[in-house]
Amino acid sequence: MSDISIRKEGVAGRITLIRPKALNALSYQMCLDIEAALDAWADDEAVQLLIIDAEGDKAFCAGGDIAELYATGTAGDFDYGRKFWADEYRMNAKLFEFPKPVVSFLQGFTMGGGVGIGCHGSHRITCESSRIAMPECGIGLVPDVGGSLILARAPERIGEYLGCTAGRMTAADAIYAGFADYYIPQLKWPELKNALAMTGDLTWIDRAAEVPALGVLEPQAEAIRRCFGGETLGDIIRALESEDSDFARDTLGALRRNSPLAMAATVEMIHRLRGCDDIRRALTLEYRFTARAMEHGDFLEGIRAAIIDKDKAPKWKHQTLDLPTAEVSAMLMPLGAQGLSF
């Protein structure tokens, strides 16, 4: 049985993830299938819009299926991961640049690779169960699949905060941070999907939308701006250490769990991308890091600690949170002929 359903319904192209027991984790083949659908529908006049959703209540898509990445990487094969990421990123770019409306329904967990297919569309819909995050720094990667661009476009310094802490957003937080557009209770979704597919009329979304309860990000925006305004991860750490508040203590606790190298590179990437609206530039920058992440970064150790052994005690390459600039620059240097191409 396939892990994804791709079909036409009315005037809509429908993409539904159907791996609910695996929290709809995105496999390599699923990425290729989505890309093929995007290629087929971009110029198909019978398809007026895309609807992307998933089965199950727990997750839209909790991320990429990383078991194969870990298996090949620990065997010394870094090329599989590089190919996986390159092909996934090209699909992300096509989705971001798709010439027709893209409506996504983001229940439960939408994380990592799920953001890459759920949060680049024109109409991104959350509900009461939505929890959206870019948790990559916790496993030794940087926010990727174009997530670095969304973080760079977030208000003030919200992007640095979310990228480094791997914080989970509610519906209200996701809308505030720019990861989503609408809050619609999940009970309304079946009727809405049917109306969109049959009519192509996007005003159905506006009529169904409601105002979610206030999240936590907006009230914390001033503290985040004050503490995350520095140029480097070290600046951020020092600002947090100088504050005597629950926010500062909780945030430092979160940062101390994650990969210092990944967080430092995340800060640098967001700064480079601020004011940018070019998904390809973001993906190219992300790929510079991910292509090196197994061999020179913390990715394999992060996966071991979080997924394989589940001891939650990763031994990161760097024990200090104040890394030399050269260490970060080395992970983000151009890859030359091995760089990402579109």
For the domain that residue 22 is a member of, what is the CATH number?
Answer: 3.90.226.10
Mean pLDDT of 179-187: 98
User: For residues 140 and 331, is the Cβ–Cβ distance under 8 A?
Assistant: no
Q: Which residues pair with 4 in a beta bridge?
A: 17
Residue 288 pLDDT > 70, yes or no?
A: yes
Q: In whole angstroms, give the CA distance from residue 287 to residue 335.
A: 9
200: left (phi over 0), alpha (psi -120 to 50) or beta: left
Using pLDDT thresholds of 50, 70 and 90, give the confidence band for residue 1: low
Q: Mean pLDDT for the chain?
A: 96
Q: Which two tokens stand for residue 300?
A: 């394999």
Write out the residue range of the structural domain in which residue 194 sits: 4-338
- Tens digits of residue pLDDT in 53-89: 999 999 999 998 888 889 999 999 999 999 999 999 9
Q: Is the dihedral of CA 298, 118, 96, 153 positive or negative?
A: negative
Question: pTM for the full model?
Answer: 0.97
Mean pLDDT of 13-42: 96
- Which residue reads 């909790």 in tokens? 62
Lowest mean pLDDT among 67-71, 177-181, 264-268, 280-284: 67-71
User: For residues 134 and 115, is the Cβ–Cβ distance under 8 A?
Assistant: yes
Using pLDDT thresholds of 50, 70 and 90, give the confidence band for residue 41: very high
- Tens digits of residue pLDDT in 126-175: 999 999 999 999 999 999 999 999 999 999 999 999 999 999 999 999 99
Please name the residues in contact with 9: beta carbons below 8 A apart, sequence gap of 6 or more: 51, 197
Closest CA to 284 of 332, 329, 231, 330: 332
DSSP string, 59-108: EEE--B--HHHHHHHHTT--HHHHHHHHHHHHHHHHHHT-SS-EEEEE-B
Please name the residues in contact with 27: beta carbons below 8 A apart, sequence gap of 6 or more: 3, 19, 65
- Tens digits of residue pLDDT in 150-161: 999 999 999 999
**Predicted pLDDT at 251:** 97
- Tens digits of residue pLDDT in 67-76: 888 999 999 9
Q: What distances in angstroms separate CA 73 from CA 36, 40, 285, 298, 337, one per listed residue?
A: 27, 33, 21, 12, 22
Q: What distances in angstroms separate CA 168 from CA 25, 65, 184, one per listed residue?
A: 17, 20, 19
User: What angle separates helix 79-96 from helix 28-41, to the nearest 10 degrees?
Assistant: 30
> How many structural domains does the chain have?
1
DSSP string, 248-306: HHHHHHHHTTS-HHHHHHHHHHHHHHTT---HHHHHHHHHHHHHHHHHHSSHHHHHIII
Mean pLDDT of 93-103: 98
- Going by their DSSP bridges, the two strands 59-61 and 49-54 should be labelled as unpaired
